């Protein structure tokens, strides 16, 4: 028989470990995961209340315009953790070519409250973009 104490301990230990990583690729046309990587990942960390995005992406430059959706993030991971931000978040997106025409802006990955992942500030001459950042989420 499981005691309340052992159940309480298990709950506290579960909060230390991240949720199951969620692969959010394949990416939309013009974007792909760079070799040798196997995916673009989103991982929820319960103790921090944050989702970490880790992706190394390649682009052919054809779909780099501001506001271009490159992927859609699933609402929940395999453990039932919410991955969508309550409000849109902007994450840094280092790239090999900065946007120089129109209204140049810092390269960024936007994740909307509905899970839409869009890019901004990427040059059509870019061949890669990397994201390793996190944002806060509220669990439902």
- Token pair listed for 137: 């989420």
Give the model's pLDDT for residue 49. 92
Each residue's pLDDT tens digit, 44-65: 998 889 999 999 999 998 998 8
Instruction: Tell me if residue 4 falls in helix, strand or coil.
Output: helix
**Spatial distance between the Cα atoms of 9 and 14, rounded to a whole number of angstroms:** 9
Domain positions in the chain: 4-136
Tell me the CA distances in angstroms from 3 to 7, 15, 20, one per residue in order: 6, 19, 27
From 4-18, 27-41, 90-104, 123-137, the region with the lowest mean pLDDT: 4-18
User: Which residues are paired to 119 by β-bridges?
Assistant: 68, 109
CATH 2.60.40.1830 fits 4-136, yes or no: yes
41 CB-near residues (< 8 Å, 6+ apart): 21, 22, 23, 24, 52, 53, 54, 55
């Amino acid at each position: 028989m499981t005691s309340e104490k052992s159940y309480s301990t298990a709950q506290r230990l579960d909060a230390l470990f991240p949720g199951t990583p969620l692969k959010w690729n394949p990416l939309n046309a013009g974007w792909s995961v760079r070799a040798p990587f196997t995916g673009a990942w989103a991982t929820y960390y319960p103790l921090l209340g944050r989702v970490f995005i880790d992706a190394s992406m390649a682009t052919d430059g054809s779909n780099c315009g501001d506001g271009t959706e490159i992927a859609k993030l699933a609402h929940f991971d395999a453990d039932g953790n919410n991955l969508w931000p309550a409000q849109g978040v902007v994450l840094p997106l280092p790239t090999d070519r900065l946007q120089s025409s129109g209204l140049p802006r810092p390269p960024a990955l936007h994740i909307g409250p509905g899970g839409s992942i869009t890019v901004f500030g990427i040059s059509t001459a870019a061949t890669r973009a990397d994201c390793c950042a996190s944002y806060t989420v509220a669990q439902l």
